[in-house]
A and B are shown apart, each in its own frame.
Chain A
Amino acid sequence: MDLRTILWIIGMGITAGTPLLYAAIGEVLAERSGVLNLGLEGLMLMGAITGYMFASLTGDKWIGILAVIVISAFLGAILALLMVTYRANQVATGIAFTIFCTGLSALIGKPYIGVVATDTFKKIRMPFLDGVPMLKPIFEQDILVYIAVILCIAAWFFVYKTKAGLHLRAAGDNPATLDSLGVSVYKVRYIYTIVGSILAGIAGAYLSLAYSPSWIEGMAAGRGWLTIALVNFALWKPQNTITGAYLFGIFYALSYRLEAMGIAVPSYFLRMFPYVLPLVILILVSWRAKQKGSIAPKTLAVPYLRGSK
């Protein structure tokens, strides 16, 4: 395996990891506020079909993204209504919501199967890299990849360096104290559930508008569930999500490249290969949690009722 191939794998890994990165940043924010949003897979699918639908109808991909933001926010609001206001069991709500959205996205996506969208996100040419063509696979990506990286850095800054970020962390670790400060815990959880949903929707839109411009039923292929594992991997720190997302993407690209080289491992095992990483990480994180105590937000998935202990 020569350097050129390795760089190709890294480049393709970045592209494959970007939807995971968007969804992971969103989920880190939501879980930090104490809300376990298991509706990510459904939100990704709805984001994918909404983005594709509006981009096909209007011929402009940015209108597609705008539509995704609006509709994901609406869906996130429904989720927040159920999980925060009605204090429904967050695990059950998220799973039921995912099943619902999977079916709904398949239904509204029927007319769009096989339709070729005219305006999709293409890779941006970097002319200054013409002298170093080896680096092109890594740095010639579409604009959503760069936006994801910027968002990751912004999220890190926001969570650790701003007062609003402090409120976010308090909402997840010690909501009663936050409440006594006069900040509405409900409002904080609502906001970050909706923000997380928007980012999950954009992750889905990336799949259908940039990664593989098309729509097929269930195209998220389990990436929403994988994001939950990646948030654990990131130890609930936004800056770590980039490592997890890109590592998974690299393993995924590697599995295809190894098969193209004819490596004597059946393709079934090669397809399993990328998912081994989150499994190993989850085991390590759980083991560490047993030793030193859990680093998850202390009231994760525990609904907050004002006035209760």
Chain B
Amino acid sequence: MKKFAVCFLILAMLSSLLVGCATSPTGSASPTATASSPSPTATASSPSPTATVSSPSPTASPEAKMKVAFLYDTTVGDFGWYYGHEKARKLTQAALDFVETSYLENVTPGAQAERVMTELCNSGYSVIVAATSGYEADSLKVAEKFPNVKFLNCCGVTVTANVETFYPLTTQIWYMLGQVAGKLTKSNVLGMVGAVVFPVDLQIQNAWLLGAQSVNPAVTERIIYINTYYDPAAERDAALALIDAGADVIAQATNDPAHVQAAEEKGVYAMSQFEDMRQFGANAYVSGDVFFWEKYYIPTLQAIHDGSWKARSFWPDIFSGVAGMADFGPMVTDEMKALVAASKEKMKTDPEFFWKGPIKDVNGTVRVEAGKQLTQEQLLSMDWWVQGVVTSMKSNP
């Protein structure tokens, strides 16, 4: 009886291991490493990605396809950041017949990412899309060793011969959303569920408040940082704390819609990043930014294929179509729509007019003087908040 029980237990554990290592049929790549295992090396000992990548389509053209790998830090089920990239990957695959794309989830930035990228380069991949800024350090290291492989770093900072960085100029959208929020708010308090203190996030948080203050100078913005991009429970708690502190328009820098659900429950407004999240709160949802990454991936991969690609720091603006504003909810009045339309018109000739001085930070120091504008370097290294932001973090002088 004892022997039987022991054998049964071992068989049960082995079979669940086998189930876990099985791959899905088409398009997606290798076993996803379980994010929970304590030692990264143990999970990364999964077989090399190419061993389990789907076989090419039956009508494969005679010339070898350009292999493109998309790397995701967490999961495509977040209904936010990676969900958007995955949608775009599928559209890109459908539109371009010379590429063969695959994706890997749960690739942790750091040693595991470096290992995975090196394996991909050794396996004949010509383009690697690192869909988060966390991969930047790893991709720069690997890019040096493989100068023929092109790296597309989302939200990165450094550009080299084979590393390009890209991110849409969403600060434009958030300035306009700020104008709407400034008019909508009755308590004059906006709430932001922040993820990590990162320059692009801070740019968005500051642009949002600048937009609100342009129509309503008394508005303040409270930010809670939950120190991760993906934790719906913590995001919800943060949103509830912000609402209790008086915020009646909530936005998020994290990857998922938990704050929209919280706003809906408490009867306040919500704006979102990355996806149209109105299904999580029909009464609360105002608008947000929505990404159409395929509008970047398709022309870029085409350029790589044609040989006309050159690495650059690419910040497509609102007119390029890579990012857009979600449709307005019913609470947006014609006055607010007119404000947005006027700003959009202004951006045709002066795309980042809202970064013009004078801008003060939370301590009262003037960061941008009147007549000047924030430079790209200053934006890429932003580590301070605009006056009117209430946060526990300290602005660096």
Q: Which residues of A contact B (CB under 8 A)?
A: 5, 8, 12, 16, 78, 81, 86, 99-100, 102-104, 106-107, 110, 113-116, 207, 211-214, 216-219, 221, 252-253, 256-268, 270-271
Main secondary structure on A side of the interface with B = helix
In the complex where A212-B233, A260-B241 touch, is A99 in contact with B392 (Cβ < 8 A)?
A: no
Chain A residues, Cβ within 8 Å of B134: none
B230 to chain A: closest residue by CB: A216
B19 to chain A: closest residue by CB: A107
Q: How far is A213 from B280 in the complex, measured between Cα atoms in Å?
A: 12
Chain B residues, Cβ within 8 Å of A263: 392
Q: How far is A217 from B9 in the complex, measured between Cα atoms in Å?
A: 24
- Could you say which of B224, B258, B393 contacts A260, with CB atoms under 8 Å apart? B224
Beyond A103-B36, A212-B232, A217-B34, 17 additional contacts (C-beta under 8 Å) are: A12-B240, A12-B241, A78-B9, A86-B2, A99-B36, A102-B36, A114-B78, A114-B79, A212-B258, A221-B233, A253-B241, A256-B238, A256-B241, A259-B224, A260-B242, A260-B247, A267-B227
A169 to chain B, nearest CB (A): 29
Chain B residues, Cβ within 8 Å of A262: 222, 390-392
**Is B245 positioned at the interface, with any CB of A under 8 Å from its CB?**
yes
- Could you say which of A257, A259, A264 contacts B394, with CB atoms under 8 Å apart? A264
Chain A residues, Cβ within 8 Å of B393: 266-267
B79 to chain A: closest residue by CB: A114
State how many residues of chain B have any CB contact under 8 Å with chain A: 48
A207 to chain B: closest residue by CB: B233
B391 to chain A: closest residue by CB: A262
**Is B35 positioned at the interface, with any CB of A under 8 Å from its CB?**
yes
**Is B51 positioned at the interface, with any CB of A under 8 Å from its CB?**
no
Q: How far is A110 from B19 in the complex, measured between Cα atoms in Å?
A: 13
**Is B124 positioned at the interface, with any CB of A under 8 Å from its CB?**
no
B331 to chain A, nearest CB (A): 22
Total CB contacts across the A-B interface at under 8 A: 119
Chain B residues, Cβ within 8 Å of A104: 16
Within 8 A of A (CB), among B271-301: 279-280
B34 to chain A, nearest CB (A): 5
Q: How far is A296 from B256 in the complex, measured between Cα atoms in Å?
A: 43
- Could you say which of B256, B261, B390 contacts A261, with CB atoms under 8 Å apart? B390
Chain A residues, Cβ within 8 Å of B78: 113-114
Chain B residues, Cβ within 8 Å of A86: 2
A115 to chain B: closest residue by CB: B77
A107 to chain B, nearest CB (A): 5
Query: Is A260 a contact of B245 with CB atoms below 8 Å?
Result: yes
Chain B residues, Cβ within 8 Å of A106: 34-36
Chain B residues, Cβ within 8 Å of A265: 392
